[in-house]
Amino acid sequence: MERAVDAGHVSDGVGNIELGARHPFYQFVSDNDFFDTTLGGAIELGIPVHSTVSKNTELVPKIFNDLRLGNHFTMQTILGHSTLFRRRKGRRGHRWWNTAFDFGYSIPHQQLRIPHVQQLVPLFELSGRN
């Protein structure tokens, strides 16, 4: 379920069905395997289900960088450009830039013994739109 807030009005409903693909273009791994970075591109397509919050098709091409430092710390940086396509006549609607920074810390089963869990990764995300 998704919630949209517009001028003090709240709408609940099912959001778009989202299809996505990612492809790495460049990877560098240091000789001692401490530093690993991957640069790539991605695309997402949001298909509307015509609920109160899902009325338009959305296309989002993106670039990303995945970074690993050591065995535990990871960071992902994403920059995308969203375009909404209105239902009538395929006209373009709103456009905006999306940014996101995700920080993770991997905790293997050997350090935190939770049954049936191989690895726990707490995440912290900063995201924005303009």
Whole-number pLDDT of residue 31: 96
Please tell me the distance from the alpha carbon of residue 89 to that of residue 46, in angstroms, as a whole number.
18
Distance from C-alpha of 102 to C-alpha of 113, rounded to nearest angstrom: 25
Beta carbons within 10 angstroms of residue 58's beta carbon = 19
Q: Give 7's contacts (C-beta < 8 A, 6+ positions apart).
A: none
Ranges of residues in the chain with a pLDDT under 50 are none
Q: How far apart are CA 9 and CA 20, in angstroms?
A: 30
Locate 46 and state its tokens: 């949001």
Rounded to an integer, what distance in angstroms lies between the CA atom of residue 59 and that of residue 80?
10
Domain span including residue 49: 2-129
Phi and psi based region of residue 89 (left: phi greater than 0; alpha: psi -120 to 50; beta: remaining): left
Number of domain units in the chain: 1
Average pLDDT in the chain: 88
pLDDT of residue 80: 96
Please report the pLDDT score of residue 91 as a whole number: 59
> What is the pLDDT at residue 44?
95
Q: Rounded CA gap, 7 and 45, in Å? A: 27
Statement: the pTM of the whole predicted model exceeds 0.85 = no
